[in-house]
Structure formats: structure tokens, C-alpha cells
């Protein structure tokens, strides 16, 4: 029972990062963050899949999740400010990891939207956990659990978005 509950807390903790990572597909679009610029290798710095609207919208929506989270489980966070700062760091971390992932994909010549197994599913998670670490962290068992289940959630969410017509590829 205690084991199950620790896994549920891990989901609760990481929720803002999942929301931040999932929302750009709906709220993104428009001007790309790299402004269309090329890196020294002649390829795009990040590509058209990374937009300002996706970044700002995703960070905002993910951060907003911290508010209901605090009111539902105040003891888990201690204060509203902690919950919001944590949600912001998880969200910003998730989308920063996503940008780093795209930067790496462009450097190895993968076009926008091409799958990069591992990077696509875990980059955002590792970066979110790292940025949030100073405020509040999980124990190592919970982190391992998230590393194992997040790729499946990521694939499931992307398949759903594809079926809904929000995305052109199911990954």
C-alpha cells in the first residue's frame, strides 16, 4: 500500500511537466524560437516544431497546474508559493529539455518530427527533474519508476493526439 502510494505521489509531483510537455501540440504554432536561423552545419538550430507560443503556452499551463495541486494536497507542498515555483520549474525544465532534444536532433540531421527514441520520451523528464530538484525532489525509487513509465505515457498521449487529428505523426 505504501509502495503504491509512493508511485501515485510520483505522478502527482511530475504532473506539471507532463502538462507542459503535452500542451504545445494544441497551443503551439507561429514564430519558431530559432527565427528560422541555421546552425554552423547549415541545418536549422531547432526547427519549425519549436515555437514561442508552444514554449510560453506550455510553461504557463504547466505552472497553473501548481495552484489546484496546492489546494488538493497542501501538506505535500507546504505553501502555495512552493507549489507554483515547483510547477514552474518542472514545466520550464520539461520544455527546456524538449528544446535541447530538438537541438540534438537537428545536429544529427533528423528532420522536424522525426522520432528519436529515448530523447523524445525522457529528455523532458530528466530536465524537469533536474530543474525542480533544489525545491523538492523524489526518492530514487520514484525517479526510476517515472523513467520507466513516462515513455509509455508519452507514446500513449502522442497516439491519442494523432487519432484526434492534432498531430500528423503518432510519436
Q: Which residues bind to ligand CTP, rule: CB under 6 A?
A: 24-25, 28-29, 47, 49-51, 54-55, 95, 98, 102, 105, 112-114
Cα(105)–Cα(71) distance, rounded to whole angstroms?
39
Residue 14 C-beta: closest distance to ligand CTP, Å = 17
Interacting residues of 169 by C-beta distance below 8 A, sequence separation 6+: 113, 115, 158, 162
What are the cell numbers at 119? 530523447
Q: Which residues make beta-bridge pairs with 51?
A: 32
Cross-strand pairs, 155: none
Q: Pull the grid cell for residue 28.
A: 503551439
Which CB, 51 or 69, lies closer to ligand CTP? 51
CB of 100 vs ligand CTP, minimal distance in Å: 11
The smaller minimum CB distance to ligand CTP, of residues 145 and 171, is found at 171
Residue 16 or 47 with smaller CB distance to ligand CTP: 47
CB nearer to ligand CTP: pick between 102 and 142 = 102
- Measured CA to CA, the distance from residue 111 to residue 169 in angstroms comes to 13
Taking the C-alpha atoms of residue 111 and residue 108, their distance in angstroms, rounded to an integer, is: 9
Question: Minimum distance between the CB of residue 43 and ligand CTP, rounded to whole angstroms?
Answer: 11
Least Å from the CB of residue 29 to ligand CTP = 6
Q: Which is nearer to ligand CTP, 55 or 85 (CB)?
A: 55
Q: Minimum distance between the CB of residue 62 and ligand CTP, rounded to whole angstroms? A: 12
Q: Could you give the C-alpha distances from 51 to 7, 36, 68, 144, 155, in angstroms and in order? A: 33, 10, 27, 31, 21
Amino acid at each position: 500500500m505504501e509502495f503504491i502510494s509512493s508511485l501515485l505521489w510520483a505522478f502527482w509531483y511530475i504532473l506539471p511537466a507532463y502538462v507542459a510537455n503535452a500542451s504545445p501540440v494544441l497551443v503551439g504554432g507561429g514564430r519558431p524560437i530559432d527565427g528560422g536561423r541555421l546552425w554552423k552545419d547549415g541545418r536549422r538550430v531547432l526547427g519549425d516544431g519549436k515555437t514561442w507560443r508552444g514554449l510560453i503556452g506550455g510553461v504557463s499551463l504547466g505552472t497553473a497546474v501548481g495552484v489546484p495541486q496546492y489546494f488538493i494536497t497542501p501538506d505535500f507542498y507546504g505553501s502555495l508559493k512552493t507549489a507554483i515555483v515547483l510547477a514552474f520549474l518542472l514545466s520550464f525544465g520539461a520544455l527546456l529539455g524538449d528544446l535541447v532534444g530538438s537541438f540534438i536532433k537537428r545536429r544529427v540531421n533528423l528532420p522536424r518530427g522525426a522520432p528519436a527514441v529515448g530523447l523524445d520520451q525522457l529528455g523532458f523528464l530528466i530536465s524537469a527533474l533536474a530543474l525542480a530538484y533544489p525545491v523538492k525532489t523524489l526518492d530514487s525509487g520514484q525517479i526510476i519508476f517515472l523513467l520507466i513509465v513516462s515513455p509509455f505515457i508519452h507514446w500513449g498521449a502522442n497516439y491519442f493526439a494523432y487519432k484526434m487529428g492534432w498531430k500528423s505523426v503518432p510519436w
